[in-house]
Each structure stands twice: as structure tokens, then as C-alpha cells.
Amino acid sequence: MEILHVSAECYPVAKAGGLGDVVGALPKYLNKQGHIAKVVIPMYRTKFLYAHEWDVVHKGYTNLGNWWFEFTVIRERHNVLGFDLYLVDINGLLDREKIYGYDDDSERFTAFQIAVLDWLSAWQHQPDVVHVHDHHTALIPFMMKYCYKYAGLSNIPTVLTIHNAQYQGWMGWDKTIYLPRWDTWRWGMLDWNNHINPLASGIKCAWKVTTVSPSYLEELKYMSNGLEALFEYEKGKCSGILNGIDVDIWDPAIDAYLDNHYSIEEAEAGKAKNKMLLCEQFGLDFDKPLISFIGRLVGEKGADLLPGAIGDSFYHIGRRMNFLVLGTGFPEVESALSALKPLGQYDYNVYIGYNESLSHLIYAGSDFLLMPSRVEPCGLNQMYSMRYGTVPMVRRTGGLKDTVIDVGDKGGYGLSYNDATVGDITHAVWRATELYHDHKKMNEVRTTMMELDFSWDRSVRQYVQLYTGLI
């Protein structure tokens, strides 16, 4: 079976979050199971681009409304990622360093999707499935069905995976001119609340829709930034498939970012060496439990609650733990976290920024990983942390609910709480501190977590079953 993944991110070429991790891993594991999975993303100006060799496979000329442009599709020559990787270059739109955050993101991603479909129309054969990810590529199912130019592609099944439904790519109806000539009777397939809503359009037009965890799909029916009724209406074609993690990269025994490797048997000593490095680098106290946070400093992740929870923990529980935060996001949250620094001389520090290598050291060297998310479609951090023997402290939501069982429940290994509030987090911090000092229990929990299987094999089997049902 041949599957073409179309996405805005793909690790290690371009990653802003979990979407990148998934698109960098799922195709590789599909290939390992004997399928042909390919990935196409925009050609941003990232390090990976300059460090690898490429062949030009297609050149085209097309238009975004009145603007005509040339585009080039290149393919990485040596298959270094374990799948064919294609990049689409559009000068003036995609030739930038960052993935998102520009005023013309609607134009950038619409042009990208048009270029991809123009290129696909020129293929000698057709893939069995086109799999798109999040709103940046969610107009593709509509265009394949209703743009006259792509009539030849209309019988190819499409799958939309929703990694995050908060962002939907809304555009005014004035931007309808960007789409290649389409069947205007079908305007309802683009519209949601008087806007073109690419994510809503994808949900309506894709043959199947998946979310990255079963619990997230249930939550979207009553909390999805305005799309609740649509998820309820389309529930028949929706399913939740939990992400896996790339165990070739995320394995403390071989992790390329770590100097001190460890397996389950020597986890306690191995983690201690990594913790020592972190404590030296950030001026923390090795003898106290280290509770870390890694992620985007935004409301969805509950990052705004961190300053209050850290302050309250010190005040109510005492200075019995360290906190370390790695992240970037809302300036207010960044400054509130930076402002806490003088308060915690030897038991708190923060690194504002994106740092892949530091994130690996934190997963390895921390005792606990805090995730007070308000929304968590799947969440990869808790799976990485468990593989590295670090106890996740999660709010019961979305994928966190599906992957972490509280240590107080039968067979449990994590710390869970119900609400994204300072009070619930502080209580979890107290529980973490108690658990840390129960040496026997801590070792038991660590071994249980590290033995859990979050590999992609299970999820890939579910995707293959879904694709098979379509063709």
C-alpha cells in the first residue's frame, strides 16, 4: 500500500511540536511493516535542508488566485529518514526559517496544498491514500473532491489526522479566490460560521478522520473551539488512534543527545548521572526530587499555572523539591517564570527557548515531569518521560488519561489529578515528594513505566486497518 503524508512539519526537518514527531515517525514504521509511505512538507530554510543532498523531481507553474508562481519539488537523495521525503519550494512564501507565525500563513499553506496537488496530478500512478495532518493541509480533501482541476484525484481516499483542533486556519470568504476553480454549490463544505474553516472542511470532506487519542475524540464533542456540533455529526467516520513514540530516537540506552546512557536495569544510577549534569548546569540541589516541565508556554499546556504552583509548593510544602522549566511561548508566562528565579536560588530554574538536546537531558535526569495541560490531544512528553524512567504528573485529559494510570490505582505508575488548577498541581507536587522518599516504591514504579510499550507498531497496525478499509 502506498500512502502520501502531507504535513507542515516533519522531524528532524522542521518541528514545532508533536505533529513533527508523528510525521517523522509514522511513515518510517509504516515502511518497516512493508508499506510505502512518503512525506511532503514545505521547503523551509532549516538546517536539515543545507545538510543533505537533494534531487529535483518536479517543477511546476500554478496560481494562487491572481498570483502565478513557480514551484519545485525536491527529494532527499539517501533516504536518511527511512522514507521518501519531498520538499516543496515556493519562493516568496515558503522560503523562510520559521514554520508558522507569519501574517500570510493562509496564503503560504494554501499555495503549498495547491502545489502538492498539481504535483500529485502529474504522478504516473496514484497513491492508495492521501493522509493529511491538521488544518495546514486540511483543504486537500475538499480540493480533491470539488476542484475541477483535480477531478483525476477524486477517487483517492483521504484521511485527516487531527493533532490539535484548537487551531483551525480560519480565513475570510474573500480568500475563496485562492482555490482553483471549484463547484460553488459545495460552498457549505468550506464554511463554518461564515468563514472558510480549513479544519472543518477537512472533517467534512476527508473519507476518514482520526484524532491522536480516543479520549481526545470524546472531548472534542463538547470542547473543540466551535466545532462541537460537527464532531458529533461526523462521529461515524472519526476514530482515535494513540500516537506511538519513535523508539529508535527516544531510548535512554542509545539516545544520541545523552552522554550517560542507561537501560532499565541500571536506571537509578544512569538517571542520577544525568540529574547531576542538570543540577550543575542549572544550580539545583541534587538531593531533592527534580520536577520538570517541557513544552510550549501556553494556556493549553497549563503553563500559566506554573508560577503559582511553584510558589505555592515552596510555601505550603517547603523547599523539599527542585523545579526546572524548559519552554517558550506567551511572553507573559515567560516573564512570570523568569521573575521567579531570584526566589529559587538552588531549587528553581528556567530555560526560555527551544532546545532539543536539553529536552532529552531533562527527560533523562528528572525524577518527575509535570503536565498540567488543559487540553492534550495525545501528548508525547509523558510517553518519553516514562521511557526514561521519569514519573509523569498529569492532568486527566485527552491522551494523558489514555496513557497514565495513577500510582494509587491497580498497576499504576504515574501521578494524576483532575483539574488544571494551582491547588491540584500543588497537591500532586506533595505526592511526588512523598513518593520520591519511598525508595522501594519509586524503583518499582520506574521499572513498570520503562517496560511499557509505546512503540509505533501498535498504532501503525490501526492505521493500516483504517487505510485497508478505504481501498
Interface residue list for ligand ADP (CB under 6 A):
17-19, 21, 294-296, 326-328, 354-356, 359, 378-381
Query: Smallest distance, Å, CB 333 to ligand ADP?
Result: 12
Query: Smallest distance, Å, CB 371 to ligand ADP?
Result: 8
Query: Smallest distance, Å, CB 357 to ligand ADP?
Result: 8
HSE of 365, CA atoms in CB hemisphere, 13 A: 30
Query: Smallest distance, Å, CB 382 to ligand ADP?
Result: 8
**Closest CA relative to residue 306, chosen from 432, 425, 400:** 425
Query: Smallest distance, Å, CB 391 to ligand ADP?
Result: 16
117 versus 298: smaller Cβ distance to ligand ADP: 298
203 versus 383: smaller Cβ distance to ligand ADP: 383
Distance CA 426, CA 411 (A): 24
240 versus 379: smaller Cβ distance to ligand ADP: 379
Q: Write the single-letter amino acid at 156.
A: I
- Give yes or no for a contact between 282 and 274, defined as CB atoms under 8 angstroms apart: no
19 versus 394: smaller Cβ distance to ligand ADP: 19
322 versus 382: smaller Cβ distance to ligand ADP: 382
Query: Smallest distance, Å, CB 50 to ligand ADP?
Result: 21
Query: Smallest distance, Å, CB 276 to ligand ADP?
Result: 21
- Give yes or no for a contact between 242 and 212, defined as CB atoms under 8 angstroms apart: yes
334 versus 347: smaller Cβ distance to ligand ADP: 334
Kindly report the length of the chain: 471
- Bridge partners of 78, per DSSP, are none
Can you tell me whether residue 83 is helix, strand or coil?
A: coil
214 versus 327: smaller Cβ distance to ligand ADP: 327
Query: Smallest distance, Å, CB 186 to ligand ADP?
Result: 32
**Closest CA relative to residue 164, chosen from 327, 7, 396:** 7
- Bridge partners of 56, per DSSP, are 74
Distance CA 401, CA 394 (A): 8
133 versus 145: smaller Cβ distance to ligand ADP: 133
| DSSP run (H or E) holding 351 | strand 348-352
Query: Smallest distance, Å, CB 270 to ligand ADP?
Result: 19
295 versus 307: smaller Cβ distance to ligand ADP: 295
- Give yes or no for a contact between 135 and 199, defined as CB atoms under 8 angstroms apart: yes
What cell was used for 455?
A: 512503540
Strands 67-76 and 84-89: antiparallel
Query: Smallest distance, Å, CB 408 to ligand ADP?
Result: 24
352 versus 405: smaller Cβ distance to ligand ADP: 352
Say how many Å lie between the first and final Cα of the chain, rounded: 9
Residue with the shortest CB distance to ligand ADP: 18
- Give yes or no for a contact between 163 and 134, defined as CB atoms under 8 angstroms apart: yes
